[in-house]
Structure 1
Amino acid sequence: MDVHAERLPGALREPQNTAERIRELEETVAQLRQAVTSHAVIDQAIGVVVAVGRVPPAEAWDALRETSMCTNVKLRRVAQLVVTWARTGVLPADVRAHLTARLGRRGPG
């Protein structure tokens, strides 16, 4: 690595040894696995909102995102709740209220 690169803001430093590099790569893989899982659940929730709310996917995404922000519940958790609701019919009142308000009368009822 260039000696001067270490002084640059945000410059990546080279691992001190192989064990450190392996640890860093394992951490990255774990983060990527979590991201893929979260993305799948969010996509499923978008599908539920599209079907129930009869809205385009972009509007379903906005409804989930806004519900997350308004209820102070992480987006991944809101998505999990919506997917579970599709199977069980159970959706927490605050999430239901925000989705229904966002989607109008077409929302989950």
Structure 2
Amino acid sequence: MKPDLDTVFAALADPTRRQILVMLLEDDMAVTDVADPFEMSLAAISKHLTILTRAGLISQEKRGRVKWCKLEPDAMRDASIWMQSFGQFEAVNLDAFEKFLETELKDDAGL
């Protein structure tokens, strides 16, 4: 079953999960190696990995006693196509878009 756009964008909304995806661009990684650079528990990283897996952005497999994570770049295809459908925009800078949304949401909340 193919995850819907809402699931993919929800997974991409978190900076920790985006950083994990960048790390996995290089190569497959063991879960413990994914967790190393972060100042959070292995259980917290596992929750992030579960969200990325449910969104289809990564896959996980057990090799011996070690659980490995692999980037699944095709999972972002639909999200990329959706963003490109707004042809009047240049390539989307997701970090700038996130900052824009934060600013707009704060303004709307009267903060």
Q: TM-score under structure 2 normalisation?
A: 0.28
Q: Between Structure 1 and Structure 2, which shows a larger proportion of helix residues?
A: 1
Give TM-score, length-normalised by structure 1: 0.28
Higher Rg of the two aligned structures: 1
| Greater relative contact order (Cα < 8 A, sep 6+) | 2
More strand by share: 2
